[in-house]
């Protein structure tokens, strides 16, 4: 008689669910760099495989249908077998589940607060106030002005911005302006206008809100250039040479009571045509060096509000 006959191994069977959980977590981490869609897919995979893993550890192992049982052999009665098998939840299974649950609680307590503080704040308190840069009569048609202003006066000089403004005339019945940011699309260095800057004709304007805006005329502007790394742009802000990956950012604008107001800024891939007839390929504001169109854009995540 074989002494091992009727004995059952207590070693747990192998499970594929932890592999699925690990793959889902890896997908989430990659998605934080590539796209929120990848994050959603990875999160779904993690939840599904995590549930199946917990379900299995709780004692409900998922098995394929077993073959029909062999004819019973003479032996102990069924009641005696049940007494020998003991309870369905073993001490080992209970400790495994408790350890996994405790580890999940500790892991969540350690990781959730830092992740919350790193991701959520950029999406909160993102208000924006339009900036009054003076009456439209201070912007002769077809001429450029360098405007320096405080984006948020309560923050002081750290919020000072520079924009290049040109009045294009009327588009229909509405005034048309080209307002280009001086932030290079390569690494964010300040670009300079290729023209004659008339510093002696600088004009200070005190706006309706009591803020001071400086306007400096620039003559014969033929484009813009970055002194840091040689980025070059034409008069509409399109990249013409150097390392920038797109055109210069622009600002939205509005006209109120005869004054020009600068609004939010946005990114531009390129501009077709010129002046009031320009067709702007507009995108949400992105950081310097980031592609906004073409296949390269998949390597950059969704931008937080600005």
Spatial distance between the Cα atoms of 191 and 234, rounded to a whole number of angstroms: 12
Same domain, 151 and 48: no
Q: What is the pLDDT of residue 70?
A: 65
Same domain, 166 and 250: yes
Same domain, 195 and 47: no
Same domain, 248 and 138: yes
Considering the domain boundaries, does residue 46 fall inside one? yes
Same domain, 186 and 278: yes
| 12 DSSP assignment | P
Same domain, 44 and 138: no
Spatial distance between the Cα atoms of 73 and 3, rounded to a whole number of angstroms: 16
Considering the domain boundaries, does residue 302 fall inside one? no
- The single residue listed with the structure tokens 């996994």 is 100
Considering the domain boundaries, does residue 96 fall inside one? no
Query: Which of 45, 62, 79 is the endpoint of a domain?
Result: 62
Considering the domain boundaries, does residue 164 fall inside one? yes
Considering the domain boundaries, does residue 97 fall inside one? no
Same domain, 150 and 245: yes
The enclosing domain of 191 has a CATH number of 2.102.10.10
Same domain, 141 and 285: yes
**Residue 64 DSSP SS3:** coil
Same domain, 181 and 279: yes
Same domain, 37 and 149: no
Considering the domain boundaries, does residue 87 fall inside one? no
Considering the domain boundaries, does residue 274 fall inside one? yes
Q: What is the extent of the structural domain holding 139?
A: 131-293
| 14 DSSP assignment | P
Reading the chain (306 residues) residue by residue, the pLDDT tens digits are 444 554 444 445 567 777 888 888 888 777 776 667 787 888 888 888 888 877 777 665 555 555 666 666 655 555 554 554 545 557 776 677 777 777 777 777 777 777 677 666 665 655 668 889 989 999 999 999 999 998 877 777 888 899 999 999 998 888 999 999 999 999 999 999 999 999 999 998 887 667 789 999 999 899 999 999 999 999 999 999 999 999 999 999 999 988 999 999 999 999 999 989 999 999 988 989 999 888 888 777 666 555
Same domain, 153 and 279: yes
Q: What is the pLDDT of residue 50?
A: 82
Distance, CA of 162 to chain centre: 25
Q: What is the pLDDT of residue 262?
A: 93
Query: Which of 62, 82, 101 is the endpoint of a domain?
Result: 62
Spatial distance between the Cα atoms of 249 and 266, rounded to a whole number of angstroms: 6
Number of domains in the chain: 2
Considering the domain boundaries, does residue 153 fall inside one? yes
Spatial distance between the Cα atoms of 29 and 45, rounded to a whole number of angstroms: 13
Between the CA of residue 99 and those of 63, 86, 104, what are the distances in Å?
24, 23, 9
Q: What is the DSSP string of 102-138?
A: HHHHHHHHHHHHHHHHHHSGGGSS-----EEEEEGGG
Q: What is the pLDDT of residue 208?
A: 67
Contacts of 292 (CB under 8 A, 6+ apart): 246, 267, 268, 269, 283, 286
């Amino acid at each position: 008689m074989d002494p091992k006959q009727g004995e059952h191994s207590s070693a747990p069977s192998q499970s594929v669910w932890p592999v699925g959980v690990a793959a889902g977590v890896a997908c989430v981490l990659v998605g934080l760099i590539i796209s929120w869609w990848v994050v959603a897919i990875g999160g779904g995979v993690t939840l599904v495989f995590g549930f199946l893993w917990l379900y299995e550890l709780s004692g409900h192992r998922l098995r394929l249908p077993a073959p029909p049982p062999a004819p019973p052999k003479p032996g102990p009665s069924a009641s005696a077998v049940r007494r020998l098998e003991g309870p369905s939840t073993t001490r080992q299974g209970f400790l495994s589940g408790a350890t996994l649950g405790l580890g999940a609680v500790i892991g969540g307590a350690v990781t959730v607060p830092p992740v919350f503080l790193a991701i959520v704040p950029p999406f909160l308190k993102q208000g924006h106030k339009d900036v009054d840069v003076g009456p439209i009569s201070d912007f002769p048609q077809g001429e450029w002005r360098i405007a320096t202003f405080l984006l948020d006066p309560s923050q002081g000089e750290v919020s000072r911005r520079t924009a290049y403004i040109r009045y294009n005339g009327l588009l229909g019945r509405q005034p048309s302006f080209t307002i280009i940011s001086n932030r290079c699309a390569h690494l964010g260095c300040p670009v300079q206008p290729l023209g004659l800057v008339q510093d002696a004709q600088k004009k200070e304007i005190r706006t309706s809100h009591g803020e001071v805006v400086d306007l400096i005329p620039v003559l014969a502007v033929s484009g813009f250039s970055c002194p840091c790394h040689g980025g070059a742009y034409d008069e509409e802000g399109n990249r013409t040479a150097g390392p920038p990956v797109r055109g210069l950012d622009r600002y939205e604008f509005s006209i109120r009571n005869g004054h020009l107001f600068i609004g939010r800024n946005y990114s531009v891939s390129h501009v077709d045509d010129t002046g009031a007839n320009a067709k702007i390929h507009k995108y949400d504001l992105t950081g310097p060096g980031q592609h906004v169109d073409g296949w390269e854009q998949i390597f950059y995540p969704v931008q937080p509000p600005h």
